[in-house]
């Protein structure tokens, strides 16, 4: 009514303030573009800000894996290394079969024996590391807190030096003029061939991966309430029963993690078989390195790497499933 009367009087209608709904909506859209779906806690950013880091992480992790898998399905050039960008499954056929000059194909168990040697060395390494780490971690968890911190520091000292340096130290210990052979000569046994043997390679693997087994085992046992052991003894349980049904059950998550941390890298180890085994212990890691260097057969080396990747993936899935079940069992036990 007022606007109509103003128009009849010839006066200009009052100018209303511009609506800020459109600007507020645009500003709200800009804010919600980088906002999380839920409420953001103070000091935290939206998940959108992690996209660059995720892209870089995927590029440097999945990128090389995709290249290796793609190379395994390509052809070997007639001369030199590299690959020919032509689809082929010959690299995987070479794992099990060989072809002679007459074109006849027959079963070839050589590479399966290499996998068997790697599997055997990894299993022995894992078993010994699990047994040693259990008793070491159990002893550590029974010490007072200040002593436990010191022991954890001592276990981590090997990580402060390079793996090759530590392996060369074992070469000095195991060689013909080393302290072990010196002691054997002193007691009249005589010098023994310790270096460049499968046993030397196994010693290097155990020394390398033992700290990886001790830490998760100690983590599982450090929070264990040992009053449960005293209660079991009060109820008449024997030592073996207490160890099997209480302590080992509480250590199951650590055992599962230690198996994954020892078996998976030990299966594809390269340094210890080369330096301590002297090339006499042929494992999968050495075979892959030779295919990319001396043999110049990149597709076959990539196929071997892909097989190890699949084995590692299966072991990781099994460890994850077993670790979850072990953690639930340990929780029920406690």
- Within-domain flag for 95: no
The pLDDT score that the predictor gives to residue 38 is: 54
- Considering the domain boundaries, does residue 134 fall inside one? yes
The CATH number covering residue 161 comes to 1.10.3720.10
The answer to whether position 52 is within a domain reads: no
Number of domains in the chain: 1
How far apart CA 256 and CA 326 sit, in angstroms, is: 8
Distance CA 242, CA 244 (A): 6
Contact between 170 and 205 under an 8 Å Cβ cutoff? The reply is no
H and E: helices and strands count for the chain: 16, 2
DSSP string, 179-243: HHHHHHHHTT------SSSHHHHHHHHHHHHHHHHHHHHHHHHHT--THHHHHHHHTT--HHHHI
Report d(CA 277, CA 196) in Å as an integer: 4
Q: Is residue 159 part of a domain?
A: yes
What pTM was estimated for this model as a whole?
0.79
Each residue's pLDDT expressed in tens, for the chain with a length of 334 residues:
444 444 444 455 454 444 445 455 555 544 544 444 556 666 677 778 888 888 998 899 899 999 999 999 999 898 888 899 999 999 999 999 988 888 788 998 999 999 999 999 999 999 999 999 999 999 999 999 999 999 999 999 988 889 999 999 999 999 988 999 999 988 988 888 899 999 999 999 999 999 999 999 999 998 888 888 889 988 888 988 988 888 988 898 899 889 989 998 999 899 999 999 887 888 999 999 999 988 899 999 999 999 999 988 888 888 778 766 666 665 555 5
Residue 13 forms part of a structural domain: no
In 41-174, beta strands by DSSP E:
97-99, 105-107
CA 329 – CA 333 distance, rounded (Å) = 6
Q: Any residues with CB less than 8 A from the CB of 15 and at least 6 apart, and which? A: none
Q: Is residue 26 part of a domain?
A: no
Residue 331: the pLDDT is: 57
Distance separating alpha carbons of residues 47 and 264, to the nearest angstrom:
32
Residue 303 lies in a domain: no
- Residue 181 CB-density burial (10 A; 0-12 exposed, 13-18 middle, 19+ buried): buried
pLDDT, position 46? 73
Is 197 within 8 Å of 277 (Cβ atoms)? yes
Domain around 178: 114-282+312-333
Instruction: Check residue 300 and give its pLDDT.
Output: 94
Assigned domain for 221 exists: yes
């Amino acid at each position: 009514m007022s606007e109509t009367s103003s128009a009849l009087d010839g006066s200009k209608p009052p100018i209303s303030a511009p609506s800020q709904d459109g600007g507020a909506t645009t500003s709200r859209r800009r804010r919600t573009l980088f906002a999380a779906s839920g409420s953001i806690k103070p000091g935290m950013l939206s998940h959108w800000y992690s996209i660059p880091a995720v892209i870089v992480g995927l590029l440097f992790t999945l990128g090389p894996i995709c290249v290796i898998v793609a190379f395994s399905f390509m052809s070997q050039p007639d001369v030199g290394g590299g690959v020919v960008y032509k689809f082929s499954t010959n690299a995987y056929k070479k794992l099990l079969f060989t072809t002679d000059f007459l074109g006849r194909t027959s079963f070839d168990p050589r590479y399966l024996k290499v996998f068997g040697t790697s599997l055997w060395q990894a299993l022995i390494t894992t078993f010994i590391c699990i047994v040693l780490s259990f008793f070491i971690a159990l002893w550590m968890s029974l010490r007072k807190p200040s002593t436990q911190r010191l022991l954890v520091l001592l276990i981590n000292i090997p990580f402060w030096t390079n793996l090759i340096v530590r392996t060369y130290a074992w070469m000095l210990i195991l060689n013909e003029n080393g302290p072990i052979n010196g002691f054997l000569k002193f007691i009249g046994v005589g010098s023994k061939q310790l270096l460049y043997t499968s046993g030397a390679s196994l010693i290097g693997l155990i020394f390398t991966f033992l700290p990886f087994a001790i830490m998760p085992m100690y983590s599982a046992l450090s929070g264990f309430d040992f009053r449960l052991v005293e209660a079991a003894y009060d109820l008449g349980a024997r030592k073996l029963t207490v160890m099997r049904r209480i302590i080992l059950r509480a250590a199951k998550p650590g055992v599962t993690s230690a198996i994954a941390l020892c078996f998976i890298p030990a299966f594809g180890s390269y340094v210890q078989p080369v330096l301590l085994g002297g090339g006499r212990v042929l494992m999968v890691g050495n075979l892959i390195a030779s295919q990319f260097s001396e043999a110049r057969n990149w597709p076959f080396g990539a196929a071997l790497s892909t097989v190890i990747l699949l084995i590692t993936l299966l072991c990781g899935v099994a460890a994850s499933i077993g670790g979850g079940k072990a953690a639930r069992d340990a929780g029920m036990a406690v």
